């Protein structure tokens, strides 16, 4: 059965006609490198890349500017490889606090055109401007105004896709870079999108693309023209999803940012300042996120009975896994260990990792009563809860960095994130 939010773009779940939406996807070009160019005017016209530790001669490229990219420098490449391709390149260490500040300023600009804003990472967002076109002008006019303001107010450029759904809006922003605006309306998406490689379609990662190639599917148009039952036989439910995406049958909404709803789960995710390369990197990052999740649970008077992780590698393949736990908890250490255990069970390190998320779900109130477990020390758990509460109090009074776990000193770059206050928002699943 086709997923409910992948019905024809002309119909809602009741089969009724719905008006066509105007969806924008705005993607900042070479975001980290663009921000660094603003703060290093002496490097104007010279190739730069953000990432790693050039003095220690290790690490990877997080973002390269377009000058460096012309030499073949790519995201995820080792610094020494980038240096071989582009001897004149300058490496700049990442400053996530600076990039987050620019991301927030970009979202302030977006907020003047719509309150339906869904971030997809620190440097890109979907915007549903359907209700604004009668006041602000059509999608093309709004996109051009946003593009102009980004250059004038922030000094960076964006590529913007305009379409009737999120999938083709994102394809539009990727279609032409940098500083471009591309439309993919219903009367033109077949001409523009169907000739693109299947790997450009959301959720077609390295493994899925390899399977598609094995059955002769190379382009998005090939996906669209293939019998959906054939795709279902190979990919399961995702086969229907890919077929629907390729044919434009996606009416998933752009989520309203900062909307208060009844709390069903609490989570945080982050795009790390460098790719994660080993288990220890992931464990440190998971503890950072678990601290935030546990603190939010305590703050709102909840415990969770399900722990979930989300992982996205440096080729943007992503997955989520969850586990029902033995007893409800809001203890940082317990949430972190469950999350790390899920990671170890489900990741094979074929690729380095770009972002990680931790979430507590199936929430119950903090005074939830449950059967004691003979194999767990309730006395120890009580001490851990008191220790967490003490940390919460110290941070409220003296700031987040006033008290840190010893684990955080193993990598100061990765640990320099206040996930609770400065976290990067990512979509929690597309559906």
User: How do residues 208-236 score in pLDDT, each as one tens digit?
Assistant: 899 999 999 999 999 999 999 999 999 98
Listed in sequence order, the residues at least 6 apart from 258 whose beta carbon sits closer than 8 Å to its beta carbon are none
Does residue 36 carry a catalytic annotation?
no
Q: Which of 257, 249, 256 is nearest to 165 (CA)?
A: 249
Can you list the domains of the chain with their CATH numbers? 1-18+196-256 (1.10.150.20), 31-97 (3.40.1170.60), 265-422 (3.30.1490.100)
Distance, CA of 125 to CA of 141 (rounded, Å): 18
- Name residues whose C-beta falls within 8 Å of residue 195's C-beta, 6 or more positions apart in sequence: 219, 220, 221
Residue 332 · residue 340 · CB < 8 Å: no
Q: pLDDT band at residue 310, thresholds of 50, 70 and 90?
A: very high
Q: Provide the H-helix boundaries in 226-310.
A: 228-235, 237-247, 279-300
Q: For position 374, what pLDDT does the model report?
A: 62
Determine the pLDDT at residue 273: 77
Say if residues 170 and 136 touch (Cβ distance below 8 Å): no
Catalytic residue among 36, 118, 124, 308: 124
CB atoms within 10 A of CB 262: 5
Taking 60 as the threshold, does the pLDDT of residue 56 lie above it? no
Strand partners, 262: none
Closest CA to 25 of 202, 274, 280: 202
pTM (global) more than 0.75: no
For residues 312-335, give the mean pLDDT: 88
Let me know if 207 is exposed, middle or buried by CB neighbors in 10 A (0-12, 13-18, 19+): exposed
Q: What is the mean pLDDT of residues 109-130?
A: 92
- The per-residue pLDDT for 206 is 80
Instruction: Give the tens place of pLDDT for each residue, 14-31.
Output: 444 446 899 999 999 999
Sign of CA dihedral 68, 73, 74, 75: negative
Tokens of 124: 């890109």
More confident residue, 125 or 315: 125
Whether residue 64 contacts residue 33, with contact meaning beta carbons closer than 8 Å, is answered with yes
For residues 134 and 426, give the distance between their C-alpha atoms in angstroms, rounded to a whole number: 30
Q: What is the mean pLDDT of the chain?
A: 85
pLDDT value, residue 13: 41
CB-CB neighbours of 125 under 10 Å: 23
């Amino acid at each position: 059965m086709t997923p409910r939010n992948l019905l024809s773009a002309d119909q809602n779940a009741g089969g009724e006609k719905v008006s066509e939406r105007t969806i924008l996807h705005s993607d900042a070009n070479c975001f980290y490198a663009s921000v660094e160019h603003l703060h290093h005017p002496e490097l104007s016209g010279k190739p730069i890349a953000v990432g790693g530790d050039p003095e220690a001669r290790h690490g990877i490229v997080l973002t390269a500017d377009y000058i460096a990219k012309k030499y073949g420098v790519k995201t995820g490449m080792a610094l020494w490889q980038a240096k071989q391709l582009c001897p004149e390149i300058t490496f700049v260490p990442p400053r996530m606090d600076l990039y987050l500040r620019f991301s927030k300023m970009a979202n302030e600009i977006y907020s003047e055109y719509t309150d339906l804003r869904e971030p997809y990472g620190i440097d890109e967002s979907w915007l549903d401007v359907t209700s604004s076109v009668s006041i602000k002008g059509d999608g093309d006019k709004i996109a051009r105004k946003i593009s102009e303001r980004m250059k004038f107010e922030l000094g960076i450029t964006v590529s913007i896709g305009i379409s009737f759904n999120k999938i083709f809006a994102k394809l539009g922003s990727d279609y032409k870079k940098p500083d471009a605006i591309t439309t993919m309306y219903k009367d033109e998406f077949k001409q523009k999108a169907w000739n693109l490689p299947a790997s450009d379609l959301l959720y077609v990662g390295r493994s899925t693309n390899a399977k598609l190639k094995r059955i002769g599917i190379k382009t998005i148009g090939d996906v669209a023209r293939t019998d959906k039952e054939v795709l279902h036989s190979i990919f399961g439910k995702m086969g229907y999803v890919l077929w629907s995406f390729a044919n434009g049958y996606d009416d998933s909404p752009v989520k309203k940012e900062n909307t208060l709803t009844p709390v069903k789960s609490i989570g945080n995710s982050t795009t790390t300042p460098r790719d994660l390369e080993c288990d220890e990197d992931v464990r440190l990052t998971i503890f950072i996120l678990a601290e935030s999740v546990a603190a939010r649970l305590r703050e709102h008077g909840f415990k969770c009975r399900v722990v979930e992780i989300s992982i996205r590698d440096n080729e943007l393949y992503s997955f989520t896994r969850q586990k029902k736990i033995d007893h409800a908890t809001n203890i940082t250490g317990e949430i972190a260990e469950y999350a790390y255990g899920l990671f170890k069970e489900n990741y094979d390190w074929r690729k380095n990792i770009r972002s990680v998320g931790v979430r507590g779900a199936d929430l119950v109130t903090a005074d939830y009563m449950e059967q004691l477990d003979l194999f767990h020390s309730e006395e120890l758990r009580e001490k851990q809860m008191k220790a967490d509460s003490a940390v919460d109090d110290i941070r409220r009074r003296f700031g987040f960095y006033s008290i840190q776990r010893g684990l955080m000193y193993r990598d100061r770059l990765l640990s320099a994130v206040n996930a609770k206050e400065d976290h990067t928002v990512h979509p929690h699943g597309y559906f």
